[in-house]
Amino acid sequence: MIEIKNLQKKYPHKDASGRNGWKEALKGLTLSIRSGEVFGLLGPNGAGKTTTIRLLTMQLLPTAGAIYYGGKELYAHARELKNLIGVVPQHVNFDQDLTVGENLELHARLHHLARAEREQRISELLDYVELSESVNDGVRRLSGGMKRRLLIARALLHRPRILFLDEPTVALDPQVRRRIWAMVQSMAADGVTVFLTTHYIEEAEALCDRVAILNKGELVAVDSPENLRKQFEAAHLEDVFLKLTETRGAV
């Protein structure tokens, strides 16, 4: 369903001596993500995970390469394909001047939901993430876990078919993390394609049908967690991850 072909991204960068140059964040990524699967993108800090999500969700323009959703090139069908996508960013990016309900309403309006549908979806999703009581609170007043749940509710408002989650459980306590895992599993059961990045290997093992491992902007492995463990004769996916990223890092 998602085809990524030779995707590259370079950023303007100053080297140690202060000279202007380019830093390659992504070096020709080619990947296929199947419809309805939970796909995990793993990698150490600076591997290019967030850059990949930002490219796939049109928050960044690629330096080279192409992205296809259901055979349609992303930038040629931008507005149509944006309707298919839901994004849960790594950082909290709510409108700080609006309440919980108003943030959701803004998202629903930006996705052209009619008034009755807006009201119904907002109510349904606030129930789903157990934030109905906070509808009129300012977003600043929410705890970290509540903000994460609200980010998920917002991303699901317009019924996306593909959901991008960038480090969805970073810095959350185990209870909240498990609740978010349950939400991801329930979305996948509803046929939503889930693309997530994570630092937590056990999270990838618990949730993902397949994972890709990125290191320094390059794809170093892609397969199911089970197959990767077998291929590298490792007891845990974390061992595979360390083997691939440390070896590459030492080169």
Partner 1 sequence: MRMAILDIWTVFWRDWLVLRRRLAKFIFSRMVAPLLYLVAFGWGLGRSIQVESGTYLDFLVPGILALNSMNISFNSITPVHAERVYHKSLEEYLIAPIWPHAFVIGKVLAAVLRGLISSSIILALAWAFGTQLMLTPLFLLVLVLNCIIFAEIGFIAAMKVSTYEEMSQVNTYILLPMSFLCGTFFKTTALPEALRIIIELLPLTHTSYLLRELGAGGTASAVSVAVLLIYAALCFWLCRRAFSRLTC
The pair of structure tokens assigned to 231 is: 């291929």
Q: Which residue has the tokens 């080169």?
A: 251
Applying CB under 8 A, does 13 fall inside the site for partner 1? no
The verdict on 161 binding partner 1 (CB under 8 A) reads no
Among 64, 76, 110, 182, binds partner 1 (CB under 8 A): 110
Cβ proximity to partner 1, 81 vs 220, nearer residue: 81
Chain centre to alpha carbon of residue 135: 25
Binding partner 1 (rule: CB under 8 A), the pick from 22, 34, 80, 171 is 80
Q: Which range touches partner 1 (CB under 8 A), out of 19-27, 43-51, 110-118, 180-188?
A: 110-118
Residue 47 in 3-state DSSP?
A: coil
Q: Does 106 bind partner 1 (CB under 8 A)?
A: yes
List 5, 82, 179, 199, residue binding partner 1 (CB under 8 A): 82
111 binds partner 1, rule: CB under 8 A:
yes
Cβ burial, residue 114 (10 Å; 0-12/13-18/19+): exposed
Query: Of the candidates 102, 117, 218, 223, which one interacts with partner 1 according to CB under 8 A?
Result: 102
SS (H, E, C) 98-132: CEHHHHHHHHHHHCCCCHHHHHHHHHHHHHHCCCH
Place of tokens 């480090």: 167
The answer to the question of residue 91 lying near partner 1 (CB under 8 A) is yes
Q: Which of 137, 136, 163 is nearest to 151 (CA)?
A: 163
- Using alpha carbons, select from 128, 208, 199, 201 the residue that is nearest to residue 166: 199
Instruction: Please select the residue that binds partner 1; options are 1, 58, 170, 242, rule is CB under 8 A.
Output: 58
**CB nearer partner 1, residue 15 or residue 95:** 95
Write out the residues near partner 1 by the rule CB under 8 A: 57-61, 78-80, 82-83, 85, 87, 89, 91, 93-98, 102, 106-107, 109-112
